[in-house]
Structure 1
């Protein structure tokens, strides 16, 4: 069982991935909002505004005190550049909690099953959601995600159920790991067919 989230986008052998512009726009919106919130939490915008006001005041005082506005402007520019450089070096990295990006939608697990292999979902917390899911289960889920009518969570639970069924009933004659995987896929496809027959249309 993997203890860290997968760090490579899962890709199907046929390179298929779902396309739903409306849903993808919503996901992008949540990603952008999460990044903006993370940026706001660092306090950078407030620091820049405050520093700018201080420098303007300093420039006015300096210009009045020296009688040389050009020198004051030059000094303010130099200080501003130095301040921005310092902020760039010392600013903490943006920390976005990936699992909270799609929280308003119920998290990455609530995305349609096909989004298990969609790059946008992987920017929105899918790797972290998959933390701890065995590699074998992920591999089988990727093969089945195109046909599964439910969410990513439902797909993973169905594959797990299929694994347990195969382990208990030992169907087929090939007891190699590949043979067991094939039996899991066969049983899972039966479950998908059953679900598809019972999903209301319209």
Structure 2
């Protein structure tokens, strides 16, 4: 049975998750780049550089004016510590939009369907992408993601289509929530089998 949580990666009943080292290296690269860019946009690097130049100039003036280099160094250290403390208190929070991390790849929804259950995808905007997706739809999608030949967004749309079909046609005799879920999954599996049969061998 699929395990779902609001804050953790979904876990399939068979514990399967995809493995594609090349793709995962690319995802990790984008995660690292996004974090670096978020740090750079706080302006701290420029502030520290400018402040350092000011302190050096101030130290030179103090050293010349007092004739005491040690006093100048001490004054620079005190001012530097005070400046760093002020920056620590007033620095803006990191502005990292998870949905932008994989934007060069088309976003989290463009990942292969199996990455619905991969931890790296969940560090790269997948939770934000899935926000608003009903729990039943997500649960069924997780159960089907291993066999689906398309992307995450294609899988979710297919499950949604299956939900509508079951709601309209009302197949079977079990009209309980569990029975409806089973019918949705059954219809979705047929759609996947049809897609797999029609996907060219070289693209699987």
TM bin, normalised by shorter chain, reads over 0.9
Q: Which residue in 2 is equivalent to 1:163?
A: 163
d(CA) in 1 for partners of 2:101, 2:54: 36
Measure how far apart 1:192 and its partner are.
Answer: 0.8
Cα deviation per residue 1:121-175 (whole Å; 9 max; x = unaligned)? 1111111111211111001111111111100000000100111111111111211
Q: Which residue in 2 is equivalent to 1:32?
A: 32
Q: Which residue in 2 is equivalent to 1:3?
A: none
Segments ≥4 residues shifted beyond 3 Å: none
Cα deviation per residue 1:173-199 (whole Å; 9 max; x = unaligned)? 211101110111111111111111111
Measure how far apart 1:15 and its partner are.
Answer: 2.1
d(CA) in 2 for partners of 1:83, 1:13: 53
Q: Which residue in 2 is equivalent to 1:19?
A: 19
Q: Which has the higher contact order (CA 8 A, sep 6+)?
A: 1
- For residue 201 of structure 2, give the secondary structure of its aligned residue in structure 1: coil
Q: Which residue in 2 is equivalent to 1:47?
A: 47
d(CA) in 1 for partners of 2:85, 2:50: 16
Q: Which residue in 1 is equivalent to 2:201?
A: 201
Q: Which residue in 2 is equivalent to 1:110?
A: 110
Q: Which residue in 1 is equivalent to 2:7?
A: 7
Measure how far apart 1:28 and its partner are.
Answer: 1.2
Q: How does 1:129-148 map to 2 (within 5 A)?
A: 129-148=129-148
Q: What is the aligned residue count?
A: 198
d(CA) in 2 for partners of 1:10, 1:88: 36
Unmatched 5+ stretches in structure 1:
1-5
Q: State the Cα RMSD in Å.
A: 1.4
Measure how far apart 1:97 and its partner are.
Answer: 1.2
d(CA) in 1 for partners of 2:23, 2:10: 20
Measure how far apart 1:112 and its partner are.
Answer: 0.3
Q: Which residue in 2 is equivalent to 1:64?
A: 64
Q: Which residue in 2 is equivalent to 1:97?
A: 97
Q: Which residue in 1 is equivalent to 2:3?
A: none
d(CA) in 2 for partners of 1:74, 1:119: 49
In the superposition, the TM-score normalised over structure 2's length comes to 0.93
Q: Which residue in 1 is equivalent to 2:123?
A: 123
